[in-house]
Amino acid sequence: MPAKSAFSAVDLAHKTCLAAEEQGYTLELMNALAEHPTLFRDMLQVQLGYAEVKILEYLINCDADPFVPEGLQVEEHTKGGQFKWNSTEVEPFLSELQRDGKISGGHDLRKELAGKSVLNANVLDYLLVHKHLIPEEWKDKAVFFWGTIYRYSDGNLYVRYLCWSGGRWHWSCRWLGRGWDDDYPAALRASI
């Protein structure tokens, strides 16, 4: 008689799904694994030490049309070509109007960021799929991607941001009519 497992198959499946989600798996990616069993075979070869994983460069298409959340439309999308993700080439930017306890208006900040190398929402969405790439030091900030500005049906403008809340990464958006303090940096390509 085989030894009784501490986990039932359902418990193990649940544990596996939680671990996969933590690493950036979506329902679509999990479904692809289930529908293509050769992927499991390949993963088994790695786990047994018969194969290796080669990490690919993380290339983000900043020229693609951005994700448009329900109720919003794209007002402005600054294209940025192909961007090879490297966290050392991204710098959080704060305006002088956001430093030392000051608060900048969103519309003023937008004007100040015009012409700067702001990253767009494509980078935000890429990072949400590849959560392991998000710098740890971003956890205490809301990092804004000013390269894509959205308009809500009431006419107000919004910018999306990436934040850590409830033990996970997610996005939200902020109305430009509000204020930005030093917890709300903009994500810029670092000067080379």
Q: Is 1 part of a structural domain of the chain?
A: no
Q: Is 160 part of a structural domain of the chain?
A: yes
Q: Are residues 95 and 41 in the same domain?
A: no
Domain that holds residue 20: 9-47
Count Cα neighbours of 98 within 13 Å in the Cβ-side half-sphere. 20
Q: How many structural domains compose the chain?
A: 2
- Euclidean distance between CA atoms 52 and 59, whole angstroms: 21
- Whether the CB-CB separation of 142 and 162 falls below 8 Å is answered with yes
- Euclidean distance between CA atoms 156 and 133, whole angstroms: 32
Instruction: Give the model confidence (pLDDT) of 87-100 as tens digits.
Output: 889 999 999 999 99
Q: What is the pTM of this model?
A: 0.71
Q: Is 3 part of a structural domain of the chain?
A: no
Q: What percent of the chain has pLDDT over 90?
A: 64
Instruction: Give the model confidence (pLDDT) of 4-52 as tens digits.
Output: 556 688 888 888 888 888 887 878 788 878 887 787 788 888 888 888 8
Q: Is 77 part of a structural domain of the chain?
A: yes
